[in-house]
Amino acid sequence: MTFDFTIQREKLDQAIGLLQEQDVDLWLTFVRETNMNNDPMLDLILGLNMTWLSAFLLTQSGERIAIVGRYDAQSVTQMGGYDSVIGYDQDIFPVLQEQLTRMNPAQIALNYSENDVAADGLPHGLWRLLNQQLPNFADRFVSAEHLVSSLRGRKSLTEVKRVQQAIHTTETILDNITTYITPQKTALDIYEFSRQEMATRGLVSSWTPCPQVHIGSAVQVGHTVAEAGYTVQVGNLVHMDIGVVENEYVSDIQRVWYIKKPDEAGIPEPLQTHFDLMRKAILAAADALRPGSIGWEVDAAARQVFMDHNIPEYQHAVGHHIGRTVHDGATVLGPRWARYGQTVYGVVEAGNIFTLELGMMLDGFGYIGLEEDVLVTNDGLVWLSTPQTDIWVIE
């Protein structure tokens, strides 16, 4: 097996730049037994599992120091991202105390957050330990939330390429699913076919359970498990939410098919009208999605289209980050509801990859749901997925 730390080295370079940009003296990621309880950021700045207590220090001046157990030191050195790798045997804290005293940072950013799960990787027990063992630095601890948000959100060139590949693979699988869907197939049939398409390529799904398959208007829509009791029938919609993990990065796409009746000349008018309105709302969000936009403002642009046409509000955000995970932390493109905390007040940045997703249930047909993946650039955005502009028809 060959280890590739290209992304980790890119993100370490990026982290130093963000420390300078945000005027933070030092960022400390503190972990132990990461196979059991991994900090979400460690995959981005290390790409290895640690056993003993380990500290990763990045400074505004450009220092990159890893303090790790003796038996982890060689692999961290081979990873190539840290200028200084210090191994210890009995106690990490004298070494950590020595380094912090030497650098004398005014702030030490730690991975805790009330809003962003990706920035909340420091367990409470380790937080207590740091305060107990480093009492002369405890009043300098601050949240690394804003640093983590930008580091995770601003995708490097390699990260963008990997997301693009996962999207391309998912679209190929969707093409094959289109030929598989026929009347009398069940939601479970379609689910199992999709999973086999992933397995054939040596891939796994972006989340569990995935994909979600919804048939007709009697189905419960959401993060549901596919069931054999829902059968493809003419005159109904089939909806799918699907994504794959490829080379450690994910896709997240929703598509919808209509099972045409033999005597129909085209898509029934109510279905076409509501599909077009949903497309209009997604395009409104896309038009609002620019560097400097605030998360809730993007959601409001889409939500207004629903309100203008007296369509019940969707009960979710219009978009979220994707990257190493399907909900990749940082800014949420959602309404100002308590459940989203402060994430909807986050600022959109160039390099962010978001989903734009909307759906509505149409009685008599089923769930119309679309989800696209887009990259924010300095000039606007790039559609990474090929947008579904028409309902896919199964004859």
Q: pLDDT tens for residues 74-108?
A: 999 999 999 999 999 999 999 999 999 999 999 99
Q: Among 108, 138, 153, where does a domain finish? A: 153
DSSP one-letter code for 138: G
Q: What is the mean pLDDT of residues 29-55?
A: 96
Residue 182 Cα to chain centre, angstroms: 32
CB-based contacts of 108: which residues, under 8 Å, 6+ apart? 25, 26, 27, 28, 100, 137, 140, 141, 142
Q: Looking at the structure, do residues 110 and 198 belong to the same domain, yes or no?
A: no
232 located within any domain: yes
Range of the domain at 50: 6-153
Instruction: Find the mean pLDDT for residues 190-204.
Output: 97
198 and 313, same structural domain? yes
Asked if 182 and 146 sit in the same domain, the reply is no
At residue 220, the pLDDT reads 77
Across the beta sheet with 204-205, the strand order is: 204-205, 244-246, 249-250
Percent of the chain having pLDDT more than 70? Answer: 99
Q: Are residues 138 and 227 in the same domain?
A: no
Residues 95 and 167 in one domain: no
CA distance 224 to 75: 41
User: Please, which pLDDT band fits residue 218 given cuts at 50, 70 and 90?
Assistant: confident
Percent of the chain with pLDDT over 90: 92
Mean pLDDT (whole number) for 344-368: 95
Same domain, 288 and 361: yes
Confidence of residue 329 (pLDDT cuts 50, 70, 90): confident
Note the pLDDT of residue 17.
Answer: 97
Domain boundary among 153, 185, 202: 153
Judge whether residue 45 has pLDDT over 80: yes
Q: What is the mean pLDDT of residues 159-188?
A: 97
Please state, in angstroms and rounded to a whole number, the distance separating the CA atoms of residues 272 and 18: 46
Report the pLDDT value the prediction gives residue 1, as an integer from 0 to 100. Answer: 53
pLDDT at 221 over 90: no
Please indicate, yes or no, if residue 1 is contained in any of the structural domains.
no
Q: What is the pLDDT of residues 12-37, one digit of tens each?
A: 999 999 999 999 999 999 999 999 99
| Domain identity same for 274 and 369 | yes
Which pTM was predicted?
A: 0.95
CATH number, domain with residue 76: 3.40.350.10
| Confidence bin at 380 (pLDDT 50/70/90) | confident
Q: Across-strand partners of 109?
A: 27, 142
CATH number, domain of 247, equals 3.90.230.10
164 in the same domain as 129: no
Average pLDDT score over residue span 271-293 = 96
pLDDT at residue 300 above 80? yes
Are 130 and 141 spatial neighbours (Cβ–Cβ below 8 Å)?
yes
* Closest among 97, 96, 100, 54 to 75, alpha carbons compared: 54
Nearest 10 degrees: Cα torsion 248, 254, 259, 260: -130
What confidence score (pLDDT) does residue 224 get? 79
Q: What is the arithmetic mean of pLDDT over 252-278? A: 95
Closest alpha carbon to 319 in 301, 342, 307: 301
297 domain residue, yes or no: yes
- Count of domains forming the chain: 2
Mean pLDDT of the 169-183 span: 97
Residues 92 and 222 placed together within one structural domain of the fold: no
**Of 153, 186, 207, at which residue does a domain stop?**
153
Residue 121 pLDDT greater than 70, yes or no: yes
Q: Hey, what amino acid is at 5?
A: F
